[in-house]
Amino acid sequence: PTASENQNFCFKDELDAFKLSLSPNKEVILEHYLAGWSGLVKFLNRLGNVFGFISKDASSKIQILKNFLNGEHGSEYFTVQSMVKYELENNLVDLKKAGSHPESGCRTLLRLHRALRWLELFLERLRTSQEDGKTSVMCADAYNESLAQFHPWVIRKAAGLAFCMLPGRLSFFEAMNVGTPDQVVAMLGEALPVVVEVYQITQDLYAKHDLLDIP
Ligand code: 1PW
């Protein structure tokens, strides 16, 4: 990335959006959750064009949710909790098979939520990695342990190829634009627990309402 692009990007700010997404009573504020995701997409795009198919899917899902947030019933989408309540009470979710609501907020957020688990596992591996650690292996291991189970063979194959193109550990750290490797590791140590908490709150909410398998 050029110097001017670097001025606009810092991976810490992107992860901090997830901290902002936690309300005092531990609900997840959708606007900040989506801001966190937009930052992750920005970062993916910095890593190169091979991640285009990944970032495009995430971007389109962010956009679907932003449209709800800015739409007629926007106030119902203030938090993930209020979104779930509103969409369920008004029968706006296809729970068992795709029907008249193929792009509900609940369904769309579930895809991002599953991907967040992958991100968490990957960044945790990165944080604890040695200097000779391979980002492609860390990323693939994290993926196979989480998101892969929800993807058909052809996506798993494409994702595997994309991971091979990830920059090495040091270049990856540099792309984050946070500082020295030590500073990156410290930043991840502080930011990841928040991502984990946001993930867990969403997971518990979805489990409680039996929403973890929305098609
Ligand atoms: C280093 C930063 C990494 C964060 C990136 C996380 C992005 C994860 C997106 C993976 C997408 C792979 C290609 C898309 C697959 C879609 O079919 C799938 N989407 C997701 C997010 O898993 C399922 O969505 P669908 O097809 O049911 O609408």
Which pLDDT does position 1 carry in this prediction? Answer: 60
Mutation pick for ligand 1 pocket among 129, 151, 195 (CB with most ligand atoms within 8 Å): 151
Which residues approach ligand 1 with their CB closer than 6 A? 40, 43-44, 53-54, 57-58, 111, 114-115, 119, 147, 155, 159
At 8 the pLDDT is 78
pTM, entire model: 0.95
Q: Which two tokens stand for residue 160?
A: 């595997």
Give pLDDT, residue 4. 61
CA distances from 151 to 120, 137, 176 (A): 18, 19, 27
Mutate to test the pocket of ligand 1, among 56, 57, 154, 174 (most ligand atoms within 8 A of CB): 57
Reading the chain (215 residues) residue by residue, the pLDDT tens digits are: 666 666 678 999 999 999 999 999 999 999 999 999 999 999 988 888 878 888 999 999 999 999 999 999 999 999 999 999 999 999 999 999 989 999 999 999 999 999 999 999 999 999 999 999 999 999 999 999 999 999 999 999 999 999 999 999 999 999 999 999 999 999 999 999 999 999 999 999 999 999 999 99
Chain position carrying tokens 């106030």: 75
The whole-number pLDDT of residue 134 equals 97
Chain center to CA of 82: 20
Distance of CA 96 to the CA centre of its chain: 24
Residue whose Cα lies nearest atom 6 of ligand 1: it is 115
What pLDDT does 2 receive?
61
What CA–CA distance (Å, rounded) separates 138 from 114?
17
| ipTM of the prediction | 0.90
